[in-house]
Amino acid sequence: MSTQGEDTVERRAVMNRLCNSLEPRVMDDNMLKLAVGEQGPQEEAGQLAKQEGVLFKDVLSLQLDFQNILRIDNLWQFESLRKLQLDNNIIERIEGLENLTHLVWLDLSFNNIEAIEGLDSLVNLEDLSLFNNRISKIDSLDALVKLQVLSLGNNLIGNMMNIIYLRRFKDLRALSLSGNPIAEAEDYKMFIWAYLPDLVYLDSRRIDDHMKALAAMKHQYGIDELKHREALMQAQLEEEQALRQQLQEHKAAFVEGLDGSFLFDSMYAEDVEGNKLAFLHGVGELLEAYKNKFVVICLNIFEYGLKQQEKRKVELDTFNECVQEAIQESQQQGKDWIAKFEEKHLMSLTAIRDESDLASMELRITEYNKDITELFDLLMTLEMQLIEQLEETINMFERNIVDLVGTFIENVQSLLAQCRDLENHHHEKVLEIAINTLEKMAKGELDEDLPDGVRALFVDKDTLVNAVGASHDIHLLKIDNREDELVTRVNSWCTRLVDQIHKDEVMRNRKRVKEINQYVEHMQSELDNLDCGDILD
């Protein structure tokens, strides 16, 4: 657990003297290499590591305190780092930590940091010290879901509501806030004990269970109200998450937005003329009937799409199971052959070592070479058989998935054609009503009072027909675009899936052949070394 002792003032004085005597520094490769070298092992292994060079990506702990560092930089190579010590510098911003995703412990105490930031990628951080900085607000820690220890003493935090923010960290057990303005509040400890009930240590002192219970009683009303708000917020978050998950499922089926009137509404969203024509007598009822039929077809597409997605998923799952079963069976056969070979291998090497006659030894070595070659041939034959089996399985899957996608597209296009038929029928009816209205206006027989914008369409027949036609074109374009989008996406998905499967199989085969060659070469090397040694003897 990160704590700060009573020597805070003395340490700060030491740092100030150091800062005044040195120029501000930026973290560069030379500084990092020096730090890694100094902190590495000093015995023979350490000296060898220094000669060969230490890879930054393998370093687990890095200490860079009292270096007069102004800016965090050049840490991107330390991808395995778990502990980073940057205390007692003059750092002003938390930055440059994006690649340190394995970091568990971070010390940024005794710096000049004014805001908590730049920690979003540190999802494994458990211990964070920002003691003795210039921070006035506790925020931007949301990604630190594993946070257990937080040291924020000697900062400028003055609002007690900052404590409420910390309730989201369910694993937080130790908190340091002494030396902040809020620590001077009369109710400071009782408030924290009440609102952070899982806390075990506050300002380096263990919290008494009895005092925690008293604090909970004192603030019961506020806590109950807060819990109610938190429950509402949690329910809202869960609902939003469920909606996002649902949308992703609909997108995976390529039918998002087709479970209601979204497509129909989009047809009229930018249709100025169509919205004007809706004022004509009879068009409103016609539009309502049109919408109901259109939405029913969209729902049919939606439900059909979900069912087809489930079929594609079952097909893919079955394919993956078949592939894994074939690979495991082949691997087991290979392991069995290797086990038999290695059993014989030990006896053969022992027999060669014990052989005193050179001619007999050479004969045994020749036999052993044959065994190695035979094993290689067996393993490669097994791999070739697997390749043929998987190729047949992949080709069958490809045919099935292409057929499923083709059937899906064909049926969706058929249903969307029904939408176009509805649109064509609606267009004819609207045009008929519009022309009748124009004729009535020309005869002075129109009883209804139309808005000026609508009357402007009835200048002459050409203007009217063009307006109705423009509305019709917009509707058809929306349907066409949705169809094109669906077809393009599902075809792209199918192509990417099949290409990736072929690519994965090529990579698997290359890896397996490499494994076989490396194993056989190792066996051959053992024999060659033994042979050379015997010859030298």
% of the chain residues with pLDDT over 90: 71
Q: Identify the band that residue 533 occupies on the pLDDT scale cut at 50, 70 and 90.
A: very low
Residues 6+ apart with CB under 8 A from 118: 93, 94, 95, 96, 97, 98
**Torsion angle of alpha carbons 97, 103, 105, 111, nearest 10°?**
-10
pLDDT band for 532, please (50, 70, 90 cuts).
very low
Least confident of 20-29, 71-80, 172-181: 20-29
What's the CA gap between 441 and 279, in Å, rounded? 15
pLDDT, average across residues 160-165:
94
Residue linked to tokens 């124009």: 438
Query: pLDDT grade, residue 47 (50/70/90)?
Result: very low
CA dihedral of residues 56, 62, 68, 69 (deg, nearest 10): 50
**pLDDT confidence of residue 54:** 60
Question: Tell me, which fold does domain 8-46+57-233 have in CATH?
Answer: 3.80.10
pTM of the model: 0.69
pLDDT at residue 506 above 60? Answer: yes
Query: For residue 187, what are the CA distances in angstroms to 208, 217, 257?
Result: 16, 13, 53
C-alpha dist (Å) from residue 386 to 372, 379, 391, 506, 514 = 21, 11, 8, 12, 15
C-alpha pair distances (Å), 382 with each of 74, 237, 271, 325, 337: 48, 53, 65, 15, 11
Q: Which two tokens stand for residue 341?
A: 């070979």
Segments making up each domain of the chain, as ranges: 8-46+57-233, 283-536
Q: State pLDDT tens for residues 278-328.
A: 888 899 999 999 999 999 999 999 999 999 999 999 999 999 999 999 999
Nearest to 473 by CA among 278, 256, 261, 270: 270
Task: Render the burial of 47-72: b for 16+ CB within 10 Å, e for the rest.
Answer: eebeeeeeebeebeebbbebbbbbbb
- Continuous segment of H or E residues that includes residue 69: strand 69-71
Q: Which amino acid makes up residue 468? A: V
